[in-house]
Structure 1
């Protein structure tokens, strides 16, 4: 499969959002507009007053998810044990902004961090319970892997080129032979072919904490139906060794699914390490290497 396109991101400011809201949703025209702290990459997110947010895709590829979210999130929400975003209104291009966009209620909480989680095993079990409920929803007619979600739910071979480029950059800095072995194991691990719902971007920033517990799951732009192993990458990128064990047991994950999930975690971590000298992705890579080698993670 050819490399995925590199999105051409645009910029959006609060004044532009005010004009969009005033023109299309006059009932909210008087609400103050301010950027959301840590508002994400795929979308520019702005507070509309205290109770709403405007979410504007930052590139044409990310805008492909808007219609999907409006179609499916209202159906998923009542079947899940935790709050997820519920679209209130669909915006149109205007005010110099070229894509469809959305208004959502604001979901309170703080993005998950290892230090902010009160009970590592309890958090892992709550997260696994959420994913079990999501995977249990009827997947018929759900969105198949595609550019709208960067082929999450499809084969890991989509990302082979980016993995190889990262390994080239990291040669001499990490154990590239071990990384290639882990990657090959993931590629060789078969999927049963049964479509299941997945979130697609189980990352700390999309998991909100309230009083140290998992309180909400946000940003379903990469959701779809297919192989849900992409959602298990969080076991290595955020969970502790004890939490990872509880997470796997709660979801009853077999060796093949676990291997594919490890592959998703490896892909994301390698490209992050290749682009940054930060210590955190190197720590995660160490977790992946150690767990694969049978050591304590």
Structure 2
């Protein structure tokens, strides 16, 4: 299916004619699970790219307005709930644009300050009470649930990478993550604190987007960025500011290891994933 500017224009004309004359353009970092487009200066259209990502639309429409007042930086605000149409088979969203530059080493002026800001956001998010819903599960791609959901996939990836990684160290790290069972109270998690979902202005955290894998459960998955983006001093500051215990930190290492392993197993040129595996398994 082609999800492009022409499709968005047709959907707007059909369902939101008040915005149909506004310019539409793809965003520079549009993501994989959804395709995102600027609408005018202050809105975005967000369209799931496959059926497996459709559940995020209703979730974000329902919960983003609940979360927003409790968080220290802006998150997307739903402005319109699109329905299937114009040849597009799934629901979609119009959201308020969140301004900022994608987090990169050249846009984040102080990684340690950024890490502390992000820990503050995660702490505020965890403090929002929703009565246990939406509980982690298929809609969150099992973020926030038990790591053993991905046990078979992880072990197969380690075997497939034999000779390219330290398989014994990776297995030991994974086993330690599985053993570090979560016994805490279910809390909100974002599920994908990747640089592409974190926005900065003047080098500091200024917004968080893409709550498609969010939910309520174990927040360990929100520590993954410690190994995928932060340097050693920022990693220490992030852990201290979050106040997480060693078991949660270990499960976070497991989440980071799983993603790096499957990425490298699928793409032998994924050098960032290889570096992450080496970092996580080095003690």
Q: TM-score, normalised by structure 1?
A: 0.92
What SS is found at the alignment partner of 2:206? strand
Deviation of 1:162 after TM superposition, in Å, equals 1.9
Unaligned residue ranges in structure 1 (runs of 5+)? 1-9
8 Å CA contact 1:43, 1:55 repeated in 2: yes
SS at match of 2:78: coil
Measure how far apart 1:12 and its partner are: 1.0
Give 1:156-195 correspondences, 5 Å limit: 156-195=147-186
Rounded Cα–Cα distance in structure 1 between residues aligned with 2:127 and 2:143: 18
Q: State the match for 1:7 in structure 2.
A: none
Query: Which whole-Å deviations, capped at 9, do the CAs of 1:34-75 have from their partners, x for residues lacking one?
Result: 211220011011111121110000111101111111111001
- Tell me, in whole angstroms, the C-alpha distance in 1 between the residues paired with 2:150 and 2:256: 12
- Is the aligned partner of 1:237 residue 2:201? no
For normalisation by structure 2, the TM-score amounts to: 0.97
Output the CA distance in 2 between the equivalents of 1:42 and 1:11.
Answer: 14
- Alignment correspondent of 2:125: 134
The equivalent residue for 1:76 is: 67
Q: Report whether the alignment pairs 1:16 with 2:7.
A: yes
In the alignment, which residue of structure 2 is the partner of 1:123? 114
Task: State the partner residue of 2:272.
Answer: 280
Q: 105, 108, 113: which one pairs with 1:114?
A: 105
Does the 8 Å CA contact 1:139/1:195 hold for their aligned counterparts? no
Contact 1:202 1:234 in 2 (8 A): yes
- Following superposition, the deviation at residue 141 of structure 1 comes to 4.0
Q: Which moved more, 1:281-290 or 1:210-219?
A: 281-290
SS in structure 2 opposite 1:74? helix
Separation in 1, partners of 2:208, 2:89: 28
The number of aligned residues is: 282
Gapped regions of structure 2 (runs ≥ 5): none
Give, in whole Å, the separation in 1 of the partners of 2:4 and 2:270. Answer: 29
User: 1:11, 1:58 within 8 Å by CA — same for their partners in 2?
Assistant: no
Check conservation: 2:132, 2:186, Cα contact below 8 A.
Answer: no
Distance in 2 between residues matched to 1:86 and 1:279, nearest whole Å: 35
Aligned equivalents of 2:105 and 2:151: distance in 1? Answer: 29
Q: In structure 1, how many angstroms separate the alpha carbons of the residues matched to 2:100 and 2:67?
A: 20
Residues in 2 aligned to 1:207 and 1:87: alpha-carbon distance in whole angstroms:
18
Match for residue 54 of structure 2?
63
How much does 1:106 deviate? 1.3
The runs of at least 4 aligned residues of structure 1 exceeding 4 Å deviation read: none
3-state DSSP class of the match of 1:61?
Answer: helix
Equivalent-residue separation in structure 2 for 1:139 and 1:193 (angstroms):
16
